[in-house]
């Protein structure tokens, strides 16, 4: 099987998800279809490149982050419900 190469932007976004979403690396790796060890390596590379003293986020940024996390959770729940409904209707339609 050929080795998959991921673009830098994809890697950066995956790392950002781990750092900001509050979800586990395992869950994010599974959602993105990436091997967990690959995501862990990207995290380690990110730690090496990160400046040692980044300014703390201000209150507006933190409020926006909380709002977006809540919105993401609602969207995940809606997605899961729609997946289940689709499976149900496909099953019902085949009878």
CATH number assigned to the domain comprising residue 11: 1.10.10
Alpha-carbon gap, residue 82 to 84, rounded angstroms: 5
* pLDDT tops 70 at residue 53: no
Q: Among 85, 76, 65, 62, which Cα is nearest to 28's?
A: 76
Percent of the chain topping pLDDT 90: 63
CB-count burial class (<10 Å; 0-12, 13-18, 19+) for 59: exposed
Q: Are residues 9 and 41 in the same domain?
A: yes
Q: Are residues 21 and 32 in the same domain?
A: yes
Domain housing 41: 1-54
Q: Are residues 34 and 22 in the same domain?
A: yes
Q: How many CB atoms lie within 10 A of CB 89?
A: 10
Instruction: List, for residues 57-76, the tens digit of each pLDDT value.
Output: 899 999 999 999 999 999 99
pLDDT of residue 3: 72
Q: What is the DSSP letter of 63?
A: H
Number of domains in the chain: 2
Q: What is the DSSP letter of 50?
A: S
Q: Are residues 67 and 25 in the same domain?
A: no
pTM: 0.51
The first and second tokens of residue 41, run together, are: 């390596």
- Beta carbons of 39 and 14 less than 8 angstroms apart: yes
Q: Are residues 60 and 43 in the same domain?
A: no
Q: Are residues 2 and 47 in the same domain?
A: yes
Q: Are residues 28 and 73 in the same domain?
A: no
């Amino acid at each position: 099987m050929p080795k998959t190469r991921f673009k830098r932007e994809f890697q950066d976004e995956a790392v950002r998800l781990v750092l900001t979403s509050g979800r586990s690396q395992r869950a994010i790796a599974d959602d993105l279809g990436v091997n967990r060890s690959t995501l862990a390596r990207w995290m380690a590379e990110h730690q090496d490149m990160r400046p040692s003293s980044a300014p703390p986020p201000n209150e507006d940024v933190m409020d926006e982050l909380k709002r977006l996390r809540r919105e993401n959770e609602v969207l995940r729940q809606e997605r899961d419900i729609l997946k289940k409904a689709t499976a149900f209707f496909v099953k019902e339609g085949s009878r």
